[in-house]
Amino acid sequence: MAELPIFDEVRQAIYPIDPQGQGTWIATNQNGETWCLLNLYQKNQAAELGYSATSARKQKLLSRGQIILACLSAQTDMSLPRLQDYCGKYKFSPFTLCYFPKVLTPQNWQPIYWQWDGIQVTAQQLPNMFTSSGKAFTKVLSHRQAVFSQFSRQQSNDYLWQFHTSHQPSKSHTSVCMHRADAKSVSITEVTSSTTVQQMKYWNTSPCQAQYSKPTARLIINR
């Protein structure tokens, strides 16, 4: 189980810790930036075959959770060329890295995502709904997009919470709160940003079991 979010004084950031790789999958910092890491499952098998060519490459593999820590430690903004060099050096398994920059003006604010497929990094604008899945990705994506469209049409302030905790149309591998025989959603994290604070709330249980008013942890950074 992941360790609860901490405040990292050196990096001036908040993030939970994956005890296995000592990295993280989500973080926000004092500058108002947020990162979120997703596994790129559909590219994993091909990449692993490529990495098995030499033992030297295997020795360089790092946990993908180190990527966000590298971004937090960078003295300058992460760029596609820098990320390409970093991934080429350590040969991470494929991933998607979502980046939410500091909000200067809502009109000019545009989150992006980088994808590393095991060979190269590409960058695109981040849509309003983004997801990953270890199985049946195309089907899962289509279903979750439809569910997101349904919830986003509601005149409700908590539609995002309802979306992330939903089991529509059933409690399964396609539902946003995912349940399979071999895996399930085990936590949910919310980051909110304003001109004065960055806040992270974390629930260390399946989203469907979480109570919004009772997060397991709640941390704030004053900006």
52-77 per-position pLDDT tens digit: 444 444 445 689 999 999 999 987 78
Report helix angle 80-90 to 66-73, nearest 10: 140
Residue 82 in contact with residue 99, Cβ under 8 Å? no
Q: Residue 223 has what pLDDT? A: 87
* DSSP strand pairing (3-8 vs 95-100): unpaired
pTM > 0.85: yes or no: yes
Residue 223 in contact with residue 197, Cβ under 8 Å? yes
Six-digit token string for 168: 């529509």
The C-alpha torsion from 60 through 63 and 65 to 66, rounded to 10°, is -30
Q: What are the Cα distances from residue 10, in Å, to 29, 81, 139? A: 11, 25, 42
Q: Residue 45 has what pLDDT? A: 54
| Domain ranges across the chain | 3-128+188-204+211-222
Q: Residue 160 has what pLDDT? A: 96
Residues in the chain, pLDDT under 70: 44-61
Give the chain's end-to-end CA distance (angstroms, integer).
30
